[in-house]
Amino acid sequence: AGSQIQGTAGSPRRSRRRKSVAIAYEPGQGDGAEPRRARWEPRDWREQLERIREMRRSRDAPVDEMGVQKCYDSSAPPQVMRYQVLLALMLSSQTKDQVTSAAMLRLRRRGLTVDTVLQMDDETLGQIIYPVGFWRNKVKYIKQTTAILKQKYGGDIPSTVEELVQLPGVGPKMAHLAMHIAWDSVAGIAVDTHVHRISNRLKWVKKETKHPEETRVALEDWLPRDLWKEINWLLVGFGQQTCLPVNPRCSQCLNRDICPAAKRL
């Protein structure tokens, strides 16, 4: 494999590095040594990021006060805490943070553990979590996932993204956030609707992406790994307060002069 990568003068290179080298040294610059990091980066992204941090400094968005990281009992045993994190994530899908937080509070008042949920009938569970989005489906997924956790993981939650996404009702965004919050491990970027929308507006993706999972792959290709954990919290709150889905508040945004999608007022 090494000889293929090296190649000979004038022969086509078949390794993935070829594209990076061509981009890095066009037109005719460089001394032939391949740079350590020759990859695409969005224009102005560092300045945009700093300005978003500035706008998020007050930490007063719904995600800050009622996000999943605030929904579990921090005094519970670690295994119970991790289960509560996963449940909050399952409830949060297509649901406002305020509604998820209230549902989690009602569940915790009943004693939120694997065993208490397994002992609860579907009707009772549904009444407690209502009105979270798609609550009927979530009742089914919560019961199925909780049974799997009891049988396969001794009541704990899996510690890898690959295992987490195999659980009923658990998608990639939830899995990455579960790794961040429950296991304090950064396995990837958690991309929800806010991160997906804002990444496309700022052109933090090389070409437009249609789905959050595409956005995750595109972001992870260039964003420094030490920012992966921060980016979800940062962009979710920014999307809740300023970069709204409809009628974004461009006039209030510090990035309005360097945002490709800004409405010029």
The domains of the chain are located at 40-59+188-264, 71-186
What's the CA gap between 198 and 204, in Å, rounded? 8
pLDDT: which is higher, 246 or 265:
246
DSSP H stretches of helix in the chain: 2-6, 17-25, 45-55, 62-66, 78-92, 97-109, 114-119, 122-129, 135-153, 161-164, 172-183, 193-201, 212-220, 228-241
Reported as a pLDDT band with limits 50, 70 and 90, residue 39 is: confident
The residue from 19, 70, 96, 173 that is catalytic is: 173
pLDDT of residue 38: 66
Identify the band that residue 264 occupies on the pLDDT scale cut at 50, 70 and 90: low
- Residue 70 annotated in active site: no
To the question of domain 40-59+188-264 being in CATH 1.10.1670.10, the answer is yes
Residue 17: its pLDDT value, please? 42
Is residue 4 predicted with pLDDT exceeding 60?
no
Cα gap 23→168, rounded to integer Å: 43
What average pLDDT does the segment 177-182 reach?
A: 97
With bands split at pLDDT 50, 70 and 90, how would you rate the model's confidence at 36?
low
Encode pLDDT of 94-141 as tens digits. 999 999 999 999 999 999 999 999 999 999 999 999 999 999 999 999
Across residues 176-196, what is the average pLDDT? 97
Q: Give the confidence band of 263 by pLDDT, cuts at 50, 70, 90.
A: confident
% of the chain residues with pLDDT over 70: 85
* Homologous superfamily assigned to 71-186: Hypothetical protein; domain 2 (1.10.340.30)
Mean pLDDT, residues 146-155 taken together: 98
- Whole-number Å distance between alpha carbons of 37 and 227: 17
**Pairwise CA distance, residues 126 & 83, whole Å:** 18
Predicted pLDDT at 145: 98
* Interval 203-248: pLDDT, tens: 999 999 999 999 999 999 999 999 999 999 999 999 999 999 999 9
CA separation for the pair 128, 26 (Å, rounded): 61
> Is pLDDT above 70 for 257?
yes
**Residue 16's pLDDT is what?**
45
Assess whether pLDDT exceeds 50 at residue 60.
yes
